[in-house]
Structure 1
């Protein structure tokens, strides 16, 4: 009984020391960054934030600007869709050797490439692709494809490594080629995971495609940056609402696709 009490006492002391260490780190971070929380949560700050938010309303609902916003939405949607599609192809090409199907050397090389692609954020890739191909949606598409290809490739490789080997081995034993054994034995086992990963990254790429416009990659983000730089707050409000609406629509479409897929394979 005494040993159990001693263990509980040691555990509580360990938790207390951990909490004290975290509190010290958080307090030191606030002090180092000179964050004035008293000014942030003051009544004056609340009034300023309210006036700033209200300055965006009412949004610009003129026919000409709504048409421009609709074109920006289509461009953002196209950038995210094509970027995700290209990323899927790149991810599949790198995931096969990264899962160890072509030897240890190819596995190490492909995993290094995947880590390199996904370790560079989309905004950095966009800044580089804008320098390489110029301003516009092509730069945004390349940036999304490179980063998302690294993320999806790592996820695909992990799924392939954990896939059951029995179906593929059975096909190989019956005389099928390795390609056919993969297509009809291994791929059906990981296909639901692949679809879920692709749809999830597409949802994220919709939001990121809008942000990439701030570095000249086209779409709604470029419109928002332009309007904010000229202090056209009503127009910026319209673009922001369009971004939110596009994200909601893509989330709903993705959920519908996943639900129908699950019902079809239930």
Structure 2
């Protein structure tokens, strides 16, 4: 190689510096895991003892065979429909509330409104559904109405935050172009920003509906109706065969909703 070619060759970039934050974070997580195992009284030996295994086997054997009487199956079917209705209506109410909160939560009405709405969304989703149901049972009484409102309150906080993030991450140029050409703000939002985020919002809604099916089946434990209330009643009376039928109905309902939600998501993402 000539001296001129040697001078014209580009210099290699310097090697990147090793940053200490990655290894430090890994060591901190490892220390947290070790401390968790050391501090919790995990009795693995008792869990796998012969007495524990025998007790569990005897308990599970008491569930067989499930109750298949026509009267009880009809009652279970009605409770299944009630649980499905609670989850669907609670999710629809949460979509409406979440969308209304997402607009100011995305900063469309100023920074002060954004901060206040974000705090409200944090409060709504930080309180679990069971706690919401316990609170609302005092006002609404026993039954599915309190459970529906509990699902709507918690899910509105979750969806409101997700919707607000989706709106903030949408490309602003299409809406700005429409407004610069004289389109009203509301029309520019519906024609430019909402179509960008709508598939993502629908995917979030379907996912939360799946979660609400499971939550609605549990809310009955505190008296909010549906399959959960039946399960608590029969377990408290040690009617294990009837409880097995209710558990099977829960599993079938969750599997059905998962399949429907998966099919709808595939249609939306085409």
Listed one character per residue, the Cα deviations across residues 42-91 of structure 1 (whole Å, up to 9, x for unaligned) are 12211111111111010001100000000001000000000000000000
Establish whether residue 23 from structure 1 lines up as the match of residue 34 from structure 2: yes
Give the corresponding residue for 1:103: 110
Give the corresponding residue for 2:83: 76
- Candidates 55, 61, 70, aligned match of 1:48: 55
Structure 1 residues 104, 214: CA separation in 2 closer, same or farther (over 3 Å shift)?
same
Q: Using the alignment, how far apart are the partners of 2:267 and 2:25 within structure 1? A: 49
Structure 1 residues 168, 12: CA separation in 2 closer, same or farther (over 3 Å shift)?
closer
Higher helix share: 1
**1:21 to partner: Cα distance:** 5.7
Give the corresponding residue for 2:170: 163
Q: Using the alignment, how far apart are the partners of 2:171 and 2:32 within structure 1? A: 44
Give the corresponding residue for 2:142: 135
Establish whether residue 206 from structure 1 lines up as the match of residue 213 from structure 2: yes
Q: Using the alignment, how far apart are the partners of 2:164 and 2:24 within structure 1? A: 42
Q: Using the alignment, how far apart are the partners of 1:13 and 1:198 within structure 2? A: 38
Establish whether residue 126 from structure 1 lines up as the match of residue 137 from structure 2: no
Q: Using the alignment, how far apart are the partners of 2:87 and 2:24 within structure 1? A: 50
Listed one character per residue, the Cα deviations across residues 188-209 of structure 1 (whole Å, up to 9, x for unaligned) are 0001110010000000000000
Structure 1 residues 15, 222: CA separation in 2 closer, same or farther (over 3 Å shift)?
closer
Give the paired residue count: 251
- Candidates 243, 259, 263, aligned match of 1:252: 259
Structure 1, unaligned runs of 5 or more: 1-6
Structure 1 residues 21, 240: CA separation in 2 closer, same or farther (over 3 Å shift)?
closer
Listed one character per residue, the Cα deviations across residues 89-125 of structure 1 (whole Å, up to 9, x for unaligned) are 0000000000000011111111111111011110000
Establish whether residue 39 from structure 1 lines up as the match of residue 46 from structure 2: yes
Structure 1 residues 12, 117: CA separation in 2 closer, same or farther (over 3 Å shift)?
closer
Structure 1 residues 16, 200: CA separation in 2 closer, same or farther (over 3 Å shift)?
closer
Structure 1 residues 189, 69: CA separation in 2 closer, same or farther (over 3 Å shift)?
same
Structure 1 residues 166, 221: CA separation in 2 closer, same or farther (over 3 Å shift)?
same
Q: Using the alignment, how far apart are the partners of 1:13 and 1:89 within structure 2? A: 44
Q: Using the alignment, how far apart are the partners of 2:28 and 2:268 within structure 1? A: 49
Q: Using the alignment, how far apart are the partners of 1:17 and 1:185 within structure 2? A: 45
Give the corresponding residue for 1:85: 92
Establish whether residue 236 from structure 1 lines up as the match of residue 243 from structure 2: yes
Which of the pair has more CA radius of gyration?
A: 2
Q: Using the alignment, how far apart are the partners of 1:15 and 1:161 within structure 2? A: 32
Q: Output the TM-score relative to the length of structure 1.
A: 0.90
Q: Using the alignment, how far apart are the partners of 1:139 and 1:220 within structure 2? A: 15
